[in-house]
Structure 1
C-alpha cells in the first residue's frame, strides 16, 4: 500500500544552527514527526503562508497534523491577553485556522497536539483557559525548562480515542493553557486528574482528534497508526 502524505504545521521563528545565526527559519522538533514515519507515512511541512492557499495546499496531502508552539492569540476567541500569554503569532494562527477549516470542509483526517488541539478548538469557535495555574492552583502542567511531567488522564469510554488509547494512563504534559468552552461539533474525550480537558474529538468524522498532551513522547503507537490508517483511507477514497 502506498504511504499517505501528511501535512505538518511548523514554527517559523528566529533560529541558529552551525554558521547560521538568528535566521528566520522553518523548524520543528523531529520528535513530532518520527511516530508518523514509524507508522508508514510521508510528511510534508506546511509553514505559514497566505491563508487563501490553504485548500490548495491540502489538495496535495492526505491528512493534516497541527503541532505544538506558542499560544493562540486570545483575540481569536474574544478575550483580552493574560499577563502569562505569549506574544501572538498572527501569521501562523491565520494560516492554521484556514488549514483546519479547509480540512473540515474536505472531511480530511486531522490530528492536533498541544497548541494544535487548542487551535482546532478555537477554529471551531471554542475558547481557552489562558493560564492553567489560575484554574488548578499549581504549575504541574508546565514545570518550565522543557521538563515534561507525567500526569494521569481518563479517556471517556465509547469515544474514538478510547479505541486508540488506554482508558486510564499517565501522559507527558507541558502546557500552561487548556481548552475551556468546547468548539462546535467537538466533544470531550479525555480529562486530567484535575478535571482539565485533555482531549477533544469530532464524532461525525472518521478521524478528527485533539490531544493536549504529547503523544509523540509516550511510547504508545495506536494513535499514530490510527491517524496514518485514516490518511491512507482518505487517499484511496
Structure 2
C-alpha cells in the first residue's frame, strides 16, 4: 500500500480535459482527468492538483503556477494544426482551442520560472508546438501501420530506444523500453531548444527534453498506464519538484 504524501510534499499541477460528460441525470461540460494520472503522482509522493482549461488573461497563469512545484501536461485531443501553420488532416480531431491556449501558456510560464514539467503524449506535442516545431498529423500515412493506435481504447506496446547521457536515461537507464502507445500523431520538425532522447525503430520521435532546463521531459507514450515500469518518470518529476520547492524557500 502506498502511504499518503505528507503536507510538505510537492504540489504537482495536472492539466485536464474539458468535454461534454454525463453522470447520473446530468449531461454537461465538465473538467475531468482519468484517475491513473493523479494516482501516479500520489504514488510518487506528490500532491496532485487538477488544472482545468480557463482564460489565460490577467495574470491567471502566474497565479496558478506560483504555488506549484511541478507540472504535467497530460494526454488528450490533437493540437490545432493552425498553431504550426497547417491545414487539418481528415483524421485530425476538432481542435479544443481553450485547452491549446491554456497549456501553451502554462508551458511558457513553467519554462520562464524553471518549473519542472513532464509532458505526456499530447503534452509532448504541445511542448513541441509551443517551441515552434510541427507535427505529423497522421502517422499511418508515414509508417504504413496503426502500430501506435489500435483504436477502441486499446494501448499498443512498442519498443523505444533511449539515448544515453540524457535526463530520460537517468530515469529509465535501460537502452530500450517497452511502452504503451495511443497516438496517431508525432513530432515532425523539432522545436527550438528541444533534444530528441528516444525513438522507435521506424524513426518516430518518442521523447524529448528541453536543454538547459532543470527538468523538462516529455514522452510520446503513456507512462501513467504502466505503474510498475514507468513510475520512474513520475518519481523523477516529484524529486525535481522537491528540489525546486527547496530552492524557492531559501
- SS of alignment partner, residue 198 of structure 2: strand
What is the aligned counterpart of 1:32 among 10, 13, 37? Answer: 37
2:176 is equivalent to residue 183 of structure 1: no
Given that 1:151 and 1:193 are in contact with CA atoms closer than 8 Å, whether structure 2 keeps it comes out as no
Give the Cα–Cα distance (whole angstroms) in 2 for the partners of residues 19 and 132 of structure 1. Answer: 39
The alignment partner of 1:236 has SS state of: helix
Q: Does 1:213 align with 2:228?
A: no
Query: Where does residue 152 of structure 1 map in the other structure?
Result: 159
Cα distance in 2 for residues equivalent to 1:74 and 1:23: 27
Q: Which residue of 2 aligns with 1:201?
A: 209
Matches for 1:17-56 after TM superposition, within 5 Å: 17-20=23-26, 22-52=27-57, 53-56=60-63
Q: Is the 8 A contact 1:62 1:108 kept in 2?
A: yes
Aligned to 2:102: 95
- Residues in 1 aligned to 2:38 and 2:18: alpha-carbon distance in whole angstroms: 17
Partner of 2:3: none
CA deviations over 1:73-102 (Å, ceiling 9, x no partner): 000011111111000100110011000000
Tell me, yes or no, if the aligned pair for 1:160 and 1:203 is still in contact at 8 Å. no
**Structure 2 residue corresponding to 1:9, chosen from 12, 15, 18:** 15
Residues of 2 paired with 1:11 and 1:162: CA distance? 30
CA contact (8 A) 1:51 1:98 kept: yes
The alpha-carbon deviation at position 203 of structure 1 amounts to 2.7
1:117 corresponds in structure 2 to: 124
Q: CA RMSD in A?
A: 1.0
What is the TM-score with the length of structure 2 in the denominator? 0.92
1:19 deviation in Å?
Answer: 2.9
Q: In 1, distance between residues paired with 2:177 and 2:109? A: 33
Q: Which runs of 4+ in 1 moved over 6 A?
A: none
CA distance in 1 between counterparts of 2:208 and 2:110 reads 16
Size of the aligned set, in residue pairs, is: 236
Kept in 2, the 8 Å contact 1:4–1:228? The answer is yes
Taking the aligned partners of 2:99 and 2:40, their CA distance within structure 1 comes to 24
CA distance in 1, matches of 2:80, 2:175: 32
Q: Deviations over 1:125-144 (max 9, x none)?
A: 11100000011011111000
